[in-house]
């Protein structure tokens, strides 16, 4: 049975979010959704360098301890 994921509209159009690189590449190739550090779920299809970094993702990233996997 295929799991359905509710994709959120809105902020992902305005921000570049942090996701694991391997998950991002897989999503770009396969068209599958990813989950950002801030919890946003979407299928990446745009150049993230064209957008400002999501403030929530940035805050989470900066507060992560070295060696954290999440």
pLDDT in tens, the chain (70 residues): 444 444 455 545 689 999 988 898 889 889 999 999 999 998 988 888 888 999 999 999 999 866 555 5
| pTM of the shown model | 0.67
Report the C-alpha gap between 51 and 30 in whole angstroms. 22
Pairing of strands 41-42, 34-35: antiparallel
Paired strand residues for 41: 35
Question: What is the Cβ-side half-sphere exposure of residue 48, based on CA atoms within 13 angstroms?
Answer: 15
Buried b (16+ CB within 10 A) or exposed e, 22-35: eebeebeeeeebbe
Q: Phi and psi for 55 in degrees, rounded to 5?
A: -65, -35
């Amino acid at each position: 049975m295929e799991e359905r994921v509710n994709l959120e509209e809105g902020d992902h159009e305005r921000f570049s979010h942090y996701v694991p690189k391997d998950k991002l590449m897989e999503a770009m190739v396969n068209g599958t959704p990813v989950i950002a550090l801030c919890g946003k779920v979407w299928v990446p299809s745009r150049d993230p360098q064209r957008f400002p970094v999501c403030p929530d993702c940035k805050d989470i990233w900066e507060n992560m301890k070295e060696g954290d996997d999440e």
